[in-house]
Structure 1
Amino acid sequence: MHFTERHVDPATHRKVVGRFATGVAIVTTRRDGVDLAMTINSFTSVSLEPLLVLFCAEKVARFHDAVLETGTWGVSVLPASMEDVSRFFAHRGRPLNGQLARWPHHRGETGAALFDGAIATVECVTTAVHDAGDHSIVVGEVRALSTPSEESPLLYHEGRYRRL
């Protein structure tokens, strides 16, 4: 099969892939005693043997280098009631010190912060990092799991937060 070179408009691409509804989560790590966190919707299960998951981190985000350095991270899958958390951690350039103080959280086995209100949490140790354009695909082996809440999930679809 031969493909001719074609230009795909980035705005059209964003609109098309935005039709795929995703869950919303916060990924966290702890470096030098400071918690770092970032909103993600690029989180998925990869393998059952071994248990692997992945998320994508934009290379220019300060979280990117921190999570690559620490090699450990936690994911808190957000319920619909935590849209404010998602919005806060999606904002670039916010102060690092005390950024988690507004929401109840605890330390998991890896030391990463996990949100008490999450509908699911996953803790990982990085096993691979793959270059993916302006992002890195971070793959981690699952070390701990929990389902602390039965609330409905927060979703993201067509550039807007949604609820089931």
Structure 2
Amino acid sequence: MQTDDRADRDSYRRAVGRFATGVAVVTTRRDDADYAMTINSLASVSLDPLLALFCVEKIARFHDAVLSAGVWGVSILPDSAEDVSRFFAHRGRPLAGQLDAHPHHHGRLGVALFDEALATLECRTAAVHDGGDHSIVVGEVVTVTTPADGSPLLYHEGRYRRLAE
């Protein structure tokens, strides 16, 4: 057991890594190009109005795309989609054709939504807040679907996990 209580980058990462999160891919569309990025920072904010948020690193190419587009989609991944999560978490992949190998459709707001998702949201950006090296993007939820049943993909202590029966 570690007893050092100093707050530094490494101890903070270890501590928050103990909080299990779901895994999703957030998407946007700008200039006829689809952008996508794996996230585990999705949170429900409000039921009245319906609001959700995610965080995006300011240096990611997704950052400027989603802020200028003003719309985004979320596909909550099933536990069978670890490969999808890993692919969209990888920096520097080519933008063109990145969705070709992943069955998807474009929703009402024009953003890509994954066909295998447990749930999807389409959102219009309502606010953007500074969050250090990230921006906190809050969106009004416009559409919600639950196309598939199953167990979610989880992330805990730096590893993908699955729910135990």
- TM-score band by shorter chain is over 0.9
**Structure 1: 4+ residue segments shifted above 4 A:** none
1:104-156 Cα offsets, whole Å, 9 max, x none, are 00010110000000000000000000000000000000000000110100000
Paired position in structure 2 for 1:68: 67
Taking structure 1 as the reference length, the TM-score comes to 0.96
1:27-82 Cα offsets, whole Å, 9 max, x none, are 00010000000000000100011000000000000000000000000000000001
| Matched positions, count | 159
Letter in 2 for 1:53: A
The CA distance in 1 between the partners of 2:12 and 2:125, in whole Å, is: 29
The CA distance in 1 between the partners of 2:7 and 2:161, in whole Å, is: 27
Q: CA RMSD in A?
A: 0.9
The CA distance in 2 between the partners of 1:94 and 1:121, in whole Å, is: 24
Letter in 2 for 1:123: E
| Consecutive unaligned residues in structure 1, runs of 5 or more | 1-5
The CA distance in 1 between the partners of 2:147 and 2:162, in whole Å, is: 19
Residue 7 of structure 1, CA deviation: 5.3
Taking structure 2 as the reference length, the TM-score comes to 0.95
Residue 9 of structure 1, CA deviation: 1.7
Percent identity for Structure 1 against Structure 2: 71
Letter in 1 for 2:161: R
Paired position in structure 2 for 1:81: 80
The CA distance in 2 between the partners of 1:20 and 1:34, in whole Å, is: 34
